[in-house]
Structure 1
Amino acid sequence: MDPLALAGAFATIVGLLSNFKAERSGSDLSDFMQWLHEQHQEHIAQAISQNKALSTELSTLLATKHDELVTKITAINDQISCVAMQIDGFSGLAKILRPSPALSNQAKSILRQIVESGAKFVMEHKLGTGNPAEFIFIDGATGKVQYDEPQFINEDFETLVAMGLLRLELASKGSRRFIPSRAGAEYVKAKNNG
């Protein structure tokens, strides 16, 4: 399959999956296939039914909790936008469709701490005590991210991910893992030198 067709097929399936989950609470492949037929997407439904590996992967995604799936789809969209912003001809479109939010002082501090720590990533640790979550340096550093506006901590991490300054991975139990990106390291270096 040529690169344009491959990219189009992936984008189409992810887009349709996103629309399905926005409209319905169905969590299995048969619900999705029925919805595809209702949306006059018979060619996509046929392609899915003819490809066992694709059917299996979609079944797994559809079984994911709604909030977790939305987080994953948002992360895909953010990553595509960040990549597109680096490519001539697509950067303007990506900036219009997904403008970069401004970084708060706390977000800048979080990014600086993570990059300068030398840790490979930061792991979110939710406390059952009612206290705000801790973000612990893992592999290469010890300690935790210091912050003083707990009500905005999630927004700040989401903004750093949306801007491509951190990467987000979900751990097996739903905790988030934030990984510094090259763009994030360059941002911190530029701010330190500026």
Structure 2
Amino acid sequence: MSAPQPAGRPGRYQRSTPALIGSLIVVLAGVGLFVGFRSLVRDDVQVDPRALNEQEYAAVLSAARDQVPAVAPNALPEDWITTSMRFTPEPTPRFHLGMLTDERRYVGVEQSRAAVERMVSTHVDADAVPGDDVEVTDGELAGTWQSWTDDGGDFALTRTFEDTTVLVVGTAGADTITALAASLTTD
């Protein structure tokens, strides 16, 4: 056992703020060099989203339609892919369908028994701005839809359908969102 140091005498090494800052600078410079080196020698990683297969799509849609009149397109436009699909059952059933267009722009369908304002706040933006009514002239959900926009470039349409709120949202533009709304069906 070593003898205690007398009061007022420093230990074996000097501790100082400048030495701590110097050590921190050396460590951060090393991390910066490593990150820079990795960015030079690493190829850009392109990850293609995984598309749901027909069986996955049918299973989720069937489960949803057992509890709510879940709406979805019978067929997607060419080169679109379904990237996500979820159903949350009772007591608060919610249906989600996420897709990417042929230009890799997101489009989603959300459906639940929540109020329109809550759906818009959750899936578009808390500060979404209501726009003009949009007439969807074709399909099972033909009729008047309320449009919404936000500062991030989202466009959305909402409509009440059989005691649920249907919201179609995305960054693909008003024409694409409107066309998708016209293709929705419970069949």
TM-score bracket, shorter-length normalisation? under 0.3
Instruction: Please say which structure displays the higher CA radius of gyration.
Output: 2
TM-score (normalizing by structure 2): 0.24
Hey, which of these two has a bigger chunk of helix by percent?
1
